[in-house]
Amino acid sequence: MLAVVVIIGVVLTFAVLGIGGDRRGDELASESQQFGELLRLASEQAVLRGEEWAVQIDPEEYRFLIFIEDKWELQQDDELFRARALAKDTELDLQLEGRDVVLETSEELKPTLMLLSSGEISPFSAEFAADDTELRYQVKTDTKGLIQWEGLE
């Protein structure tokens, strides 16, 4: 009887662990989707306002910039476009126009991706990965300049 209880306990433990899924993978999916959606919204704002916008991407965060009076300034008009920290173990690999970009931390406001008032977006591909999950996600522009999100194999 005791052996049956132990076996049932072991089976239930594995069942619960299997149902739990990949929490870090889910967080990474959400983080990458948020990045893509914020870029899409910022691009729309640039067109609607007739302003030049950009995104500065560092290894640990990204922030939205706006070009005002011949210089880049931090976008502060809207809380939606506040600086966003990446999760501690998120790795972001970026390519611009097919070339790898080395992300560096900088206090100077320098655009990484351009979001122009004409609707143009710098051609890019951003791959999100993390140590605690096998899942990876990509945010990129397609040939028409539309921002896409997808899971990678």
Task: Count up the domains in the chain and report the number.
Answer: 1
pLDDT at 144: 78
- Amino acid (1-letter code) at residue 107: E
Q: Is 17 inside a domain boundary?
A: no
Q: Is 11 inside a domain boundary?
A: no
Q: Is 2 inside a domain boundary?
A: no
pLDDT at 4: 46
Torsion of CA 148, 59, 130, 114, to 10 degrees: 0
Q: Is 5 inside a domain boundary?
A: no
pLDDT at 142: 79
pLDDT tens per residue, range 72-85: 999 998 999 999 99
Q: Is 1 inside a domain boundary?
A: no
Query: What is the Cα 84 distance to its own chain's centre?
Result: 9
Tell me which residues of the chain have a pLDDT lower than 50.
2-6, 10, 12, 15-19
* Residue span of the structural domain in which 134 resides: 24-152
Q: Is 9 inside a domain boundary?
A: no
Q: Is 1 exposed, middle or buried (0-12, 13-18, 19+ CB in 10 A)?
A: exposed
Q: Is 96 inside a domain boundary?
A: yes
Q: Is 12 inside a domain boundary?
A: no
pLDDT at 15: 43
pLDDT at 133: 92
CATH of residue 48's domain is 3.55.40.10
CB 119 within 8 A of CB 107: no
